[in-house]
Copies of this chain bind each other. A is one copy, B any other.
């Protein structure tokens, strides 16, 4: 295993622990490290790569948190079994979601207006009584057929200059730049229902069909909510996949 340390560039602007993560991920993917087998010990890796053990440990900790590895005290660190279906957890946008499912997304803007939100929406967005929100309604298509109808609420104070054009692009980058905050966590609620008469037209399904309703509230890293999306999916076309991590 000579020359292993050449794999790490200590002068690089990318942190060593990230380089090590990439290295390990590659070797797992190439099945150099096989499922269920243990990878080299932390001490071994630190010698081979000529970095300190604590740095190797940081890399491994991240991969353990990502579910690629698991540790057993006194035994070693092992490659975990890959999941059959990749969870679509991290995804937030309809576009990403559909692409990951191998379908071509498209959208049609139905409505864009500035309103005082319904009470429950205002409460979830932690707004004052008389605060305005943008209300956006869009039909979301996958492979040109309706998949969902999406109603989005964004506080005006978060992004006052929002308009019909900006809404079509990548909002998140704009919001991050404007608020000097990054997009943080989100909370989702999911329920089943019978489609409403109005939505059945938009979704092009008959009444008395089932729909999956997903309500997602997204937060900036400081915990301020900046978006609430209520999506109504055709149950015959859409299944939601997520992962529970321990």
Contacts and interface: CB of A to CB of B under 8 A. Distances in A.
Given A208-B208, A223-B81, A235 B191 contact: yes
A231 to B, nearest CB: 12
Contact-residue bracket for chain A? 35 or more
A244 B92 contact: yes
B210 A35 contact: no
Interface stretch (A99-107, A135-143, A180-188): A180-188
A241 B192 CA distance: 13
Nearest to A124: B84
Given A222-B36, A224-B81, A243 B186 contact: yes
Contacts of A187: 83-85, 87, 241-244
A242 B245 contact: no
Total copies of this chain within the assembly: 2
Contacts of A123: 84
B240 A183 contact: no
Contacts of A240: 189-191
A238 interface: yes
A5 to B, nearest CB: 25
12 contacts: A36-B222, A70-B222, A80-B222, A81-B223, A84-B217, A90-B244, A187-B241, A188-B243, A189-B239, A192-B192, A192-B210, A210-B210
